Amino acid sequence: MSKKLTQIAIYGKGGIGKSTTTSNISAALSVAGYKVMQFGCDPKSDSTNTLRGGTYIPTVLDTLREKNVVKPEEVIFEGFNGIYCVEAGGPSPGVGCAGRGIITAVQLFKQKKVFEEYDLDYVIYDVLGDVVCGGFAVPIREGIAEHVFTVSSADFMAIFAANNLFKGIHKYSNNGGALLGGVIANSINEPYAKDIIDDFVDVTKTQVVEYVPRSVTVTQSELQGKTTVEAAPDSKQAQVYKQLAEKIANHTESKVPEPLGIEELRNWAARWGETLLSLQSGEVRSAAEKI
Ligand SMILES: Nc1ncnc2c1ncn2[C@@H]1O[C@H](COP(=O)(O)OP(=O)(O)OP(=O)(O)O)[C@@H](O)[C@H]1O
Ligand SMILES: [Mg+2]
């Protein structure tokens, strides 16, 4: 009997830490004994680099441009601990929809029954999610992913992107779209950053899955072309990623988030602006600091 495949999509603003977090989750799940495929859905095609010693792999779109018929083994490459790495790729800069790589790659994999043939436990999509449009919405819209997670820091633009993603999930949820597992709070070192994220998940009726600190261990590992789970398996940061991966593996209950309207979001941000000013002047103390 073939095992149950769980497909997970990880979204977030550009540069927020999606690929770093996704690759560490893949590495941790793989070390825990699961068979994992990481599916990079970014036209930059660098999602799987730290799973493969810092090297790039040919993308599905590039390979299709060279040949008419593509075999799965021409676009699936093994990385750390046998993780299957795929990069959907993108169009030439300035030509066509950047999400076309995802649409094409997903179609190809469905047609060739790749997910069944490779006997996978998890497929993890790493998706640029500033705007949930076109190809970038595929893992959510077509019910491909079962659970969606978003990586966000406490910065307003990251939260803005997360809120946009919530709007997309909300919209597609009426037609069998994927639901939200929660927020992976990245680069959370200051107590006020935790407070901001906690408040955001509260008002949007979702949850934080894990708080991931900003750590030099991540930088060091990346410079070696590796995930933290591979390069520094006994580090505190690797423990955080392993704990996050375990929570994702055991996650069952995803929900429809309640995104804020644009005015509501601006007012929410303005209130936080005032709170941070009072924190700075010592008028109030952060809730996270009191714990
Ligand atoms: N918790 C962390 N601690 C230290 N550095 C981090 C952390 N998370 C991410 N980074 C660093 O931030 C940079 C951007 O991360 P990453 O490439 O994962 O972001 P991304 O969201 O995938 O970006 P893009 O949208 O460009 O694909 C990388 O250099 C990465 O090492
Ligand atoms: Mg990336």
For the CA of 18, the nearest ligand: 1
Q: What is the per-residue pLDDT for 158?
A: 96
pLDDT of residue 287: 83
> Could you give the CA distance from residue 194 to residue 106 in angstroms, rounded to a whole number?
36
Q: What backbone torsions phi and psi does residue 129 show, to the nearest 5 degrees?
A: -130, 40
Nearest CA owner, ligand 1 atom 19: 17
CA-wise closest residue to 87 among 49, 51, 59: 59
CA of 24 to the centre of ligand 2 (A): 12
Q: Is the per-residue pLDDT at 268 higher than 60?
A: yes
pLDDT at 197 over 60: yes
Atom from ligand 1 closest to the CA of residue 237: 1
As a whole number, the mean pLDDT across the chain is 92
Q: Which residue has a Cα nearest atom 25 of ligand 1?
A: 14
Ligand nearest to the CA of 54: 1
> In angstroms, rounded to a whole number, what is the distance separating the alpha carbons of residues 48 and 31?
16
Q: Which residue has the tokens 């030099």?
A: 216
Assign 3-state DSSP to the chain and report helix, strand, coil percentages, each to 5. 45, 15, 40
Higher pLDDT: 280 or 160? It is 160
CA of 267 to the centre of ligand 2 (A): 30
Q: What does pTM read for this prediction? A: 0.95
Q: Is 235 exposed, middle or buried (0-12, 13-18, 19+ CB in 10 A)?
A: middle
Question: What would the pLDDT profile of 36-95 be if each residue is shown by its tens digit?
Answer: 999 999 888 999 999 999 999 999 989 988 988 889 999 999 999 999 999 998 877 666
| Per-residue pLDDT, 1 | 46
Half-sphere exposure of 66 (CA within 13 A, CB side): 9
Q: Which CATH architecture has domain 6-259?
A: 3-Layer(aba) Sandwich (3.40)
